[in-house]
Structure 1
Amino acid sequence: MTSLEQLLQSPTGEYCCRSDLDLYDSSNCDRLATQAAAGRHLKILSNCSANGAIKVRLCEDGYVAWLPVDKLTEMEPAKTVYVAIARSRSYIESRLREIIAFTKAAMEVPNYYLWGGTLAPNYDCSGLMQAAFAASGIWLPRDSYQQEAFTKRIALEELLAGDLIFFGIQKVDHVALYLGDGYYIHSSGKEIGRNGIAIDRLSGEGDEVSRSYSQKLWSFGRVMSSYQP
């Protein structure tokens, strides 16, 4: 029996990551899509591999990606299925201080912008947001445009520390966490950004990076619940 056939024997239909895993956006496994921390649950979507990879779906955020077959040894059958925990807005409010603290602590560790990164020390923009909230037991969807659709849209005048700020031109492609007093923290890229986690001003009068993102300002969102795929 092959390792794939052995893995497909899970009585719950779900598997648990034994270690941190990289997942990819195609069966070629040449472009990182997301990462799965040890302990996360996933489902296998196909009994057959393609180009040495299998399609999987992460249970916590519903994200679909590809896992190299040679990483199957890093998974084991889950003893129980993943059950999403509902979180109220009041619970989320009680955790905003530690969510903000998570992002600031991540900024203090040497890091760089990693497309698809959701694990320390290197994150992409939405990966940092997802990781910060997940550390407090609150799940967000994976990508920035999904996070924008998931949150409650609010006006600039309503913006509070812990709300999300979305950027884009034709669609949302970047997200940041509002800190209050006109500042936000985010992981930004190399071309237009700081190649890692930094704090910038929500203003068109800041430095070049702040001005650039100000021109792409899209919307503001408030996390009202934990994501339940």
Structure 2
Amino acid sequence: MVSLASIQADFAGDRTFAYQCLENLNLYDSPALKDLATQAVAGRYLRILPPLPDASADPTRSAISVVLCEDDYPGWVAVEDLDLLTVAEAPYRAIALSTDDIHACLPQVIAFARQAMAQPNHYLWGGTVGPNYDCSGLVQTAFASAGIWLPRDAYQQEAFVQPIPMADLQPGDLVFFGRPDRCTHVGLYLGDGQYLHSSGKDQGRNGIGIDVLSEQGDAVSRAYFSQFRGAGRVVACYTSRRD
């Protein structure tokens, strides 16, 4: 376990470490620690960024800025949660997988997503550790379960994958939805025109469900299909810019 004092000593000694999560960890979108940005499952790596907070100012609400190593995702961690971290024994190194390796893992990815759907769940903005996920959190975690790292957010995942025509969709591909100027939603294609995704209350099912990629589906399927942007295939693992 680490503490703010030990981190401050490391920074003062010009020593920087990778840290690992001992337990699931919440990351917030600001130092106010109010709104969830993402979550880190036990075992994930992160780096702590300067400047460090002044614990004497408000030791119960101060926060530290971090970036998750596997996807370069930034966030804020409560100082009181530092006991959920430990100094990593070795630096983080991304695992390279070939396109064939990734293709072979897709049944495992789909199985994870289906199992997640079978558990009681609801949509959680920022959720990645289950049972409650947001759309891109479910996709990222399903692929991570097979050792394949993707970027965190839907628009990042859209930019990362290899674009494919809708006619070429295969199980394990990703389908993207949103506005003309930005991707805001992602699902995992299952085959036979169906995709699995975690959708919210306003337009979706408030949790994980299966919809049809067609204007012939029910109201939820039609709503998402009207925002369909395109599809993509995962052909590589994300490599951290800081490796």
Give the TM-score range, shorter chain. over 0.9
2:213 maps to which of 185, 202, 217: 202
SS of the counterpart of 2:4?
helix
Give, in angstroms, the shift of residue 38 of structure 1.
0.7
Q: Specify the alignment match of 2:104 in structure 1.
A: 94
- Other structure's SS at 1:209 match: helix
Q: Where do 1:38-77 residues align within 5 Å?
A: 38-49=42-53, 52-77=62-87
2:26 to 22, 28, 42: 22
CA distance in 2, matches of 1:116, 1:110: 17
| Residue-by-residue CA offset, 1:109-153 (whole Å, 9 max, x unaligned) | 000000000011000000000000000000000000000000001
User: How far does residue 158 in structure 1 lie from its aligned partner after superposition?
Assistant: 1.0
Alignment partners' CA distance in 2, 1:108 and 1:159: 24
Q: What SS does the corresponding residue of 1:19 show, helix, strand or coil?
A: coil
For 1:131, the equivalent position in structure 2 comes to 141
Q: Counterpart of 1:199 in structure 2: which amino acid?
A: I
CA contact (8 A) 1:12 1:78 kept: no
Gaps of at least 5 residues in structure 2 are 55-60
Partner Cα distance (2:63, 2:192) in 1:
47
Report how far residue 47 of structure 1 moved: 3.7
- State the one-letter code of the partner of 1:129: V
So what's the TM-score if we normalise by structure 2? 0.91
- Give the RMSD, CA atoms, in angstroms: 1.4
Query: Could you tell me which residue of structure 2 aligns to residue 182 of structure 1?
Result: 193
* CA apart distance, 1:49: 1.9
Whether the 8 Å contact between 1:12 and 1:81 is mirrored in structure 2 is: no
Question: In the alignment, which residue of structure 1 is the partner of 2:126?
Answer: 116
Deviation at 1:105, TM superposition (A): 0.5
- Amino acid of the residue matched to residue 3 of structure 2? S
Question: What is the aligned counterpart of 1:172 among 173, 183, 188?
Answer: 183
Which of 31, 34, 37 is 2:38 aligned to?
A: 34
Tell me the amino acid that sits aligned with residue 74 of structure 1: L
Q: State the Cα distance separating 1:7 from its structure 2 match.
A: 2.9
**Deviations 1:75-124, CA, capped at 9 Å, x for gaps:** 11111001001111100110111111110000000000000000110000
Aligned AA (2:34): D
For 1:12 and 1:131, how far apart are their aligned partners in 2?
A: 28
2:3 is aligned to 3
Q: Who is 2:227 aligned against?
A: 216
Take 1:207 and 1:154, find their aligned partners in 2: how far apart are those partners? 25
**Alignment partner, residue 155 of structure 1:** 165
Contact preservation (8 Å) 1:7, 1:72: no
Cα distance, 1:12 vs structure 2: 5.5
Percent identity, aligned pairs only, is: 52
Alignment-mate amino acid for residue 221 of structure 1: G
Unaligned runs of 5+ in 1: none
Q: How far did 1:219 drift?
A: 1.1
Compute the TM-score of the two structures, normalised by the length of structure 1.
0.96
